[in-house]
Structure 1
């Protein structure tokens, strides 16, 4: 059950119908105001089943308890958001006028500093036994202090335009997915979830590094997600593009190791990027 204390009074929420800042399979993000403060409301596009609401509750409670300068805080929830919102639950966080890191990088290129901050946030999360589950540039926003902030902690696995649940092993995020997260024949959703660990985040972190330096998503030259899956399971990784420093590529390779037990830890990745900036 979702904690009642997290819910905001919908009478206090004023949605700006002119500011729809994002829309995707999981739902829509709207700008709104609560007590005069600009906030973003990410609204899932479906009503959750009892099982999914239980897991969703666990995810938002974890998010609510995380306090780090590079993690976007969860301010609360709304269950019945004002029109034109979808019927699903809404997650309220600070409004970030700079957008996500993917769009911001096209204006300001501070790659290694941003990667150091992201690695620091991951290290903090992993020390607290929290896993992001869906790391990519689109799930990193830039706050008013120009700090990259992680958001959407596994939330996009709860909704899609076709099904009630989009598990880690389904389409949509496979280009960022670690090999152990792909669904095997006959497996259930729970089987896949049991293999999601901090090591999956580190695989995704290497993909974020690639995005940062290329401004393209992983395997951008391959249209078929099935082909991407075959490549990843065979131990192949995206080729090294021009412009990536040796030190950064070495970190990426350490995070892309096929055996999750041997991947670089987030604490070590943070130390490595911090050393580059020293």
Structure 2
């Protein structure tokens, strides 16, 4: 554990947010960093955002599919925080000047109807806490140059969180087997990825349980109204100014993200 490096790493990542300039991998700059250090660095950034007025609106599970683990060369999930400023409306172009190297992922988002706290939460208890599901597009981003990341790098960088667009069609868990929900990701009308809920740890519900119990061990409770992104059903796809991406899910509907030219409307 490298507690002396933590404040410096927090400031380096906060600086990348302010300037839009990526940093070199933390694992190269601070070779002794471990997973505990990485989560402490993540929390250090979130605490600064909260001092600046941000509110945590939910969490994301990253690296929960084999596709994403292969893409980034890791072998376990991680989690990050979602703050209010990360949520974008479908109808509003998303300005890419706020990102460094954005990619999109199609996800089945859970919205909680009551608090949920681990450890020891079961799948049944997690299901009972979910009020509804919505289609979602997560925008992942890396403040680390060229996505040259190891597990510790992405955890420290808030699990490579960037933003999220939620669809407006709510579906109850009782209406569909979430494992069997198929999805198609399109960029500018072209199919760029396909997958199903089962790609996410066997079921997105397993990712939710993993998150709740992992956060609970750290003294954190998920609250009613929190959004949980359990992980992508496909590999992530890069986006550029002018792109329009749509994720369409069987039984859930679709969600679209529109990306604007840097510094202005599309």
User: TM-score if structure 1 supplies the norm length?
Assistant: 0.28
Q: TM-score, normalised by structure 2?
A: 0.29
Structure with the higher fraction of residues in helix conformation: 1
Whose Rg is larger?
Answer: 1
More relative contact order, 1 or 2 (CA 8 Å, 6+ apart): 2
Which structure has the highest strand share of the two? 2
